[in-house]
Structure formats: structure tokens, C-alpha cells
């Protein structure tokens, strides 16, 4: 049996500029500053005694031909790795695996590729895992998403990730252990209780392309600012920048927010947060919130119906945690 463990991610600033329609057409490309988090997707791959393929996730599939699989990420990961028969594959998520804004679909893809490549005896780099995940999600399945999630999941850590038609570059930030401890102490994830489709939101056509482009350019500049704030430990300013980023993102599409989300955001700010924004494409999922070291406990009392967890960082990226075939 092979077991891969792949982190989810939380982006501080720059989300949306990693979409090809922006990053390929802007002279400076796109940039996202994000962190991998210790909420994981686990993928198991086990050899079967026959040539059938069994896939277990929120449903169960048993097929003779991998082409008949409904789970498109599994199907295409099998195709790209050459493992097309005689396996049992299971995916397990620490948190809801769809519509959370934490990049879970891409983490599933990266984790599948890592486990299947290992099963095949291939030694693959984080760069290759991220690139192949992008090929599956964007080129083959034509999902209208960006490229940050695949790289964050594969590499782990706190990174500035640049995107352009010339390629994508992952640059780890120089963040001290003391600042890392403060990040984990002061930043929280607040679940809205709402799940949504990132592809549906990102696939919507904006009513004003010039306005969307202008907003994305401002979000790109915010990514530059957030990188410096993280490295010097100016986390309160970073929290305030999250709210600025949220205000820019809200104007891109009417589906990014709604009355329920606006109310929750206002409640979080009124409780004393430095700032907050919805992760991912918007429409639901998790808010990332900054406050002082006591603020998480304040939120837990005031918002009992919302699951609130600390932002705990992962620095390993997608990794194989068990291999009985080695």
C-alpha cells in the first residue's frame, strides 16, 4: 500500500492573478503569497488481486476500464502515470473536500499523482507534481481555475509564487521561527458553513472586464506588500491588507459574496479582528482572520455555530508517508 499526504493551502494575497487570462497577458504576470496548512488530503493506492479498479471517495466506483471512472481527477491521474488497472484508490479529507476555498481539489490531484507515481516506481519532484496537476485540471479537464493551488500543495511552506506565460516560479519566503509561531497564534480559519463551486464562480463572465483587470492589478500589488509584511512580522498590517484584498475581490463578481457572508464578515470585524477575507474564489468556504493571540477564543464564544481553527502551517508539501512496496 502507498499513502500520500498532501496539504491544503491558505492564500494571503494575490488570488485571482494566477489565472492564465490575467497572468499570461500582464507584463508583470501574476503573483500569489500563500501558505500550505496542516489540513490534509490522504490518498491510498493498493494493488488488487485482479485487474479491476476500485475507487472510494464520497461514493464507490468499481470498473473494469479506467476510462469508465466518473471521478475525473482519478481517471486522468491514472492515465498520466500509466497505472490503469489492478488498483484500489481511496481519498480521505481532513475537512470538507469541496467548496472550502482551501484548494482541496488540486490537493487531491497532487496527492493522487504522488501516490500513483510512487506505486509505479517513479521518483517525481514537487515541480513535476504541480505541473502535471495543472495539465490535468486546466489543459485536460478545462477547469476555469488558477495555478496557485497545485504548487502550494506540492511544495508546502510559505511562498511567493509567480505566474506568467514563461513559467511559474516558487520562491520560499524568509520567515523566522518566531514569526511562524506568531502566524499560527494570530491567524484563524472560520468556516462559513457554506460550500460552493470555485469553477462555477471563476467561470462567470464579468460584466466589466476593465474593472476586473484593474482590481486584479491592485490585488497583484497587495501580494507584493504581503510578502514583505510576512518576512518582517508586521502581521497586524497584513490582517488589514486582507480586508483590502477582500474589498477588491468582492467587486469582481456578484457571486463572490452574499448577505450571509457579508454579515459574518461584519461580525468578525466588529469583534475586533485586524482584517479578514474569504479564501479561494469566494461564495463560501473559510474566512482567514487575523487578530491578537486571544481573539480566536473571543470568536469561539461569539460565533458558536462556526467551526474555528488555528492556521497551522505545513512545510513538507505532498509526501509519501507509507510505502509497503519499497
pLDDT tens, residue by residue, 71-94: 999 999 999 999 999 999 999 999
Burial class (CB in 10 A: 0-12, 13-18, 19+), 125: exposed
Length of the chain: 326
> Which has the closest alpha carbon to 246: 293, 211, 204, 288?
288
Local confidence band at 205 (pLDDT 50, 70, 90 cut-offs) = low
Alpha-carbon span 144 to 137, nearest angstrom: 9
CA 117 to chain centre: 22
pLDDT at 227 over 50: yes
User: Can you read off the three cell numbers belonging to residue 31?
Assistant: 503573483
* β-pairing verdict for 2-13 and 30-47: antiparallel
208: which residues sit within 8 A by CB, 6+ positions away?
A: none
Over residues 53-57, the mean pLDDT reads 97
Tell how many helices (H) and how many strands (E) occur in the chain: 11, 12
Q: pLDDT tens, 104-129? A: 999 999 999 999 999 999 999 999 99
CB atoms within 10 A of CB 296: 20
pLDDT at 201 over 70: no
What are the CA-CA distances from residue 105 to residues 8, 59, 194, 211, 269 (Å)? 9, 16, 17, 29, 30
Over residues 289-304, the mean pLDDT reads 96
pLDDT at 202 over 60: no
Over residues 189-200, the mean pLDDT reads 74
First to last CA, the chain: 10
Ordered by where they begin, the domains of the chain are 2-173+314-323 (3.30.230.10), 177-310 (3.30.70.890)
Is-contact 46 1, C-beta < 8 A? yes
Kindly report the pTM of this predicted structure: 0.94
Is-contact 228 173, C-beta < 8 A? no
- The pLDDT of residue 204: 55
> Which has the closest alpha carbon to 197: 129, 285, 262, 311?
285
3-state secondary structure of 24: coil
pLDDT at 256 over 70: yes
- The pLDDT of residue 209: 80
pLDDT at 36 over 80: yes
Q: pLDDT tens, 133-154? A: 999 999 999 999 999 999 999 9
User: Can you read off the three cell numbers belonging to residue 162?
Assistant: 509567480
Is-contact 117 82, C-beta < 8 A? no
Alpha-carbon span 253 to 157, nearest angstrom: 30
Instruction: Write the DSSP assignment of 93-141 as a string of letters.
Output: ESS-SSSSSS-HHHHHHHHHHHHHHHHTT----HHHHHHHHHIIIIIIS
Q: What is the mean pLDDT of the chain?
A: 94
Local confidence band at 208 (pLDDT 50, 70, 90 cut-offs) = confident
Alpha-carbon span 98 to 147, nearest angstrom: 17
Residue 252 DSSP code: T
- The pLDDT of residue 53: 98
- The pLDDT of residue 251: 84
Alpha-carbon span 210 to 179, nearest angstrom: 38
* β-pairing verdict for 87-93 and 53-56: parallel
Amino acid at each position: 500500500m502507498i499513502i500520500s499526504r498532501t496539504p491544503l493551502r491558505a492564500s494571503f494575497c494575490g488570488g485571482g492573478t494566477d489565472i492564465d487570462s490575467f497572468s499570461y497577458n500582464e507584463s508583470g504576470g501574476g503573483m500569489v503569497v500563500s501558505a500550505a496548512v496542516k489540513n490534509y488530503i490522504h490518498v491510498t493506492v493498493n494493488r488488487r488481486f485482479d485487474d479491476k479498479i476500485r475507487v472510494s471517495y464520497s461514493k464507490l466506483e468499481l470498473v473494469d476500464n479506467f476510462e469508465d471512472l466518473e471521478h475525473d481527477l482519478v481517471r486522468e491521474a491514472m492515465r498520466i502515470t500509466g497505472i490503469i488497472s489492478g488498483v484500489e484508490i481511496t481519498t480521505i479529507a481532513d475537512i470538507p473536500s469541496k467548496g472550502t476555498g482551501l484548494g482541496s481539489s488540486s490537493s487531491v490531484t497532487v496527492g493522487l499523482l504522488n501516490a500513483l507515481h510512487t506505486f509505479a516506481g517513479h521518483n517525481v519532484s514537487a515541480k513535476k507534481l504541480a505541473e502535471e496537476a495543472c495539465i490535468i485540471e486546466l489543459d485536460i479537464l478545462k477547469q476555469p481555475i488558477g495555478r496557485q493551488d497545485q504548487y502550494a500543495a506540492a511544495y508546502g511552506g510559505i511562498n511567493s509564487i509567480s505566474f506568467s506565460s514563461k513559467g511559474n516560479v516558487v520562491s520560499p519566503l524568509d520567515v523566522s521561527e518566531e514569526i511562524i509561531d506568531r502566524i499560527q497564534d494570530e491567524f484563524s480559519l472560520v468556516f462559513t458553513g457554506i460550500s460552493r463551486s470555485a469553477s462555477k464562480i471563476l467561470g462567470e463572465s464579468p460584466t466589466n472586464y476593465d474593472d476586473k483587470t484593474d482590481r486584479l492589478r491592485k490585488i497583484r500589488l497587495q501580494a507584493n506588500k504581503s510578502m514583505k509584511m510576512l518576512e518582517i512580522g508586521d502581521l497586524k498590517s497584513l490582517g488589514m491588507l486582507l480586508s483590502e484584498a477582500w474589498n477588491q475581490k468582492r467587486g469582481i463578481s456578484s457571486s463572490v459574496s452574499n448577505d450571509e457572508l457579508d454579515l459574518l464578515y461584519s461580525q468578525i470585524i466588529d469583534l475586533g479582528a485586524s482584517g479578514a477575507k474569504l479564501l479561494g474564489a469566494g461564495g463560501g468556504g473559510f474566512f482567514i482572520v487575523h487578530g491578537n493571540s486571544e481573539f480566536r477564543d473571543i470568536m469561539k464564544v461569539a460565533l458558536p455555530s462556526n467551526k474555528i481553527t488555528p492556521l497551522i502551517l505545513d512545510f513538507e508539501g505532498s509526501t509519501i508517508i507509507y510505502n509497503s512496496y519499497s
